[in-house]
Amino acid sequence: MNLLAARVALRERKLADVLDLALPLCMSNRGPLGVIALWVLGPTAGLAAWLRIARHWQWPALWCVVLEASFLAEGAFTAALGELLFREASEVSPRAVLRGWLGRLGAYLRVVVGRQLLLAISLVLVIVPFVQGPQTLFVGEALLLERGTPAAAWARSRGLARNRGPFCLGLWLATLAMPVLGAFAADQIGNAVIGFALQLGRPTGDLLAQGGSGFAVAGALLAAPIAAAARFLGYIDLRTRKEGWDIQLRFVALSTGRGQRERRAA
């Protein structure tokens, strides 16, 4: 791993910095991430439209499908961001990223579903989800980016989160809220344009009145890459802190500067 090639500054960050940087990181890499979004989120949007229009599914059941699919799709963006950390966007092939993600999809599915089951069971004890959620926050990153086994990914996530409870808790809650905020924002903006500006009513539904809308589904899905980016930046921050990436970079910079001075002196 060539830390000097990192396209994101490897330094310790506060939670606010991580969350602020998530959207700009997605926008700066919108080329490959946009293609991946079309391939992994497009079919989910189509499935949601079919279930709602053709099969007349109610919104609660439909939201379960949409949110579960978006959680799984975040893995594709995590894999892409791992490549984009050290390579320019023009050098990253979305097809190759998706091929690699699909090759690990079985293991990724096991850790994601296992994590969700653990959190669902821990809800009985009320407080436990606020412990298990942060501790298992990075199982996907450990599995996809470090190429570990599911068991190693669980242990790695707990190791990264150790002694960083408040940071991981805040990041976990923020990533859970992103689909909700995305759905609400898209519903309000989309219906305002269609209903108020174009005077076409609310043809895709009303989130607050009916429990969902086409705009809300789109907003929730589009929040997936942002949530993945925020969690990826949190993962990078913890590795920087625990493995001293920033210190390594400083030593490399000092060594490089000393070598340049010696060459000039010679």
- 170 exposure class (CB count in 10 Å sphere: 0-12, 13-18, 19+): middle
**Section 109-127 average pLDDT:** 87
**Section 45-68 average pLDDT:** 95
The SS3 assignment for 213 reads strand
pLDDT digits (tens, 9 = 90+) for 172-205: 999 999 999 999 999 999 999 988 777 787 888 9
Residue type, 185: A
126: tokens are: 């009320």
Q: What is the mean pLDDT of the chain?
A: 89
Residue type, 1: M
The predicted pLDDT at position 63 comes to 96
pLDDT at 253 exceeding the cut of 70: no
pLDDT at 256 exceeding the cut of 70: no
Cα–Cα distance, 247 to 245 (Å, whole number): 5
Please check whether residue 237 is in contact with residue 18, taking contact to mean a CB–CB distance below 8 angstroms: yes
- Close Cβ partners of 130 (under 8 Å, ≥ 6 residues apart): 169
Cα–Cα distance, 243 to 247 (Å, whole number): 9
**Section 7-21 average pLDDT:** 90
223: tokens are: 């929040």
The predicted pLDDT at position 134 comes to 94
pLDDT at 149 exceeding the cut of 80: yes
The SS3 assignment for 126 reads coil
Residue type, 56: H
161 falls in which pLDDT band (50, 70, 90)? Answer: very high
pLDDT at 113 exceeding the cut of 70: yes
pTM: 0.89
The 10 Å Cβ neighbour count of residue 131 is 14
The predicted pLDDT at position 246 comes to 62
Question: Could you give the angle at which helices 214-243 and 165-191 cross, rounded to 10 degrees?
Answer: 160
The 10 Å Cβ neighbour count of residue 92 is 21
**Section 32-57 average pLDDT:** 96
Q: Tokens 């490549």: give the residue.
A: 83
pLDDT digits (tens, 9 = 90+) for 84-109: 998 999 999 999 999 999 999 999 99
